[in-house]
């Protein structure tokens, strides 16, 4: 089942505190961005990659694409102030496809079995997102006081990829832009239209490289995979 992938890569990496786009930081001597791109470059079901980038980083990223022979990139639209805007900038430029995946470029450890399940589920149901069951007890807090312990049995930590039939996510993004709704993931935009979103169990390795500790986790994951 073929798909195209949107990789938002236009963030500032504020929580990483590296003073530059965290996607250029190295894991096992290779930029995080390239680790993620290689997953989709190698996946025979991926027929196109769309990268939302900062205009001032476009030339450098194009150099990386050439150096690492990433040939599936169809476009490098300019990202926006928010992640959602960056994703939308890609979707606006895409031609009609069947299934589109949206995946954080900061999640280099996604695997093709999870991608395949997401694509098949989205084909059948319209929308499917990656996640893992919550491992910690989760509580709501107000002014430093616990106000509620949330039932953990039905709690999932949501990741990307998030897979959609193209027309559904295009409509959801266009409407969100029109009404000024901002979500922290694409599923929220689809949920608010009343469309069911299905969960696909992912892996705990599919971390988003966000703070400096995640670099350590990433190096350990790579080392573990090479054993
Ligand atoms: N305006 C934005 C913000 C984020 N992203 C991308 O969305 C993914 C997930 O975002 P996040 O982990 O929050 O990255 P940053 O925004 O760079 O991190 P921070 O919030 O710490 O600045 C990353 O691949 C990031 O490059 C993007 O394309 N455009
Ligand atoms: C989309 C996401 O990765 C799902 O967990 C997450 O919401 C992205 O958050 P960020 O703060 O934009 O990285």
Predicted complex: ipTM over 0.85: yes
Closest CA to ligand 2's atom 3: 159
- Kindly list the protein residues whose Cβ atom lies closer than 6 A to any atom of ligand 2: 83, 104, 158-160, 184-185, 208
Tokens at 24, concatenated = 């250029």
Q: Which atom of ligand 1 is nearest to the CA of 208?
A: 12
* Ligand 1 within 6 A of CB of 161: no
| pLDDT for 29 | 96
b/e map 167-192, b = 16+ CB within 10 Å: ebbbbbbeebeeeeeebebbbbbbee
| pLDDT for 87 | 98
| pLDDT in single tens digits along all 227 residues of the chain | 999 999 999 999 999 999 999 999 999 999 999 999 999 999 999 999 999 999 999 999 999 999 999 999 999 999 999 999 999 999 999 999 999 999 999 999 999 999 999 999 999 999 999 999 999 999 999 999 999 999 999 999 999 999 999 999 999 999 999 999 999 999 999 999 999 999 999 999 999 999 999 999 999 999 999 76
From the CA of 80, how far away is ligand 1's center (Å)? 10
What are 99's strand-pairing partners? 165
**Any idea where the domains of the chain sit in the sequence?**
3-226
* Ligand whose nearest atom lies closest to the CA of 85: 1
What is the pLDDT of the chain when averaged over all its residues? 97
| pLDDT for 200 | 98
* Ligand whose nearest atom lies closest to the CA of 16: 1
From the CA of 185, how far away is ligand 2's center (Å)? 6
Tens-digit pLDDT profile for residues 5-61: 999 999 999 999 999 999 999 999 999 999 999 999 999 999 999 999 999 999 999
What residues contact 85, with CB distance under 8 A and at least 6 apart? 79
Query: Could you say which of 3.40.50.1370, 3.90.550.10, 3.40.50.720, 3.30.420.10 is the CATH number of the domain covering 3-226?
Result: 3.90.550.10
Place of tokens 């009404």: 179
From the CA of 145, how far away is ligand 1's center (Å)? 30
From the CA of 56, how far away is ligand 2's center (Å)? 23
From the CA of 127, how far away is ligand 1's center (Å)? 22
Please tell me the pTM assigned to this model. Answer: 0.97
């Amino acid at each position: 089942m073929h798909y195209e992938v949107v990789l938002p890569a236009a963030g500032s990496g504020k929580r990483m505190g590296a003073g530059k786009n965290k996607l250029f930081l190295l894991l096992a001597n290779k930029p995080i961005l390239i680790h993620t791109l290689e997953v989709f470059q190698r996946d025979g079901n991926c027929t196109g990659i769309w990268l939302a980038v900062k205009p001032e980083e476009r030339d450098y990223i194009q150099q990386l694409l050439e150096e690492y022979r990433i040939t599936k990139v169809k476009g490098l639209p300019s990202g926006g102030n928010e992640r959602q805007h960056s994703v939308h900038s890609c979707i606006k430029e895409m031609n009609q496809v069947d299934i589109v995946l949206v995946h954080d470029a900061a999640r280099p450890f996604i695997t093709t079995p999870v991608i395949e399940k997401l694509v098949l589920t989205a084909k059948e149901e319209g929308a499917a997102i990656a996640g893992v069951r919550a491992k910690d007890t989760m509580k709501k807090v107000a002014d430093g006081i616990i106000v509620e312990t949330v039932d953990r049995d039905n709690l999932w930590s949501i990741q990307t990829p998030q897979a959609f039939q193209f027309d559904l996510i295009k409509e959801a993004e266009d409407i969100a832009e029109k009404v000024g709704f901002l979500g922290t993931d694409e599923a929220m935009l689809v949920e608010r239209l009343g469309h069911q979103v299905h969960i696909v169990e992912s892996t705990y390795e599919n971390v988003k490289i966000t703070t400096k500790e995640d670099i350590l986790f990433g190096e350990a994951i790579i080392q573990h995979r090479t054993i």
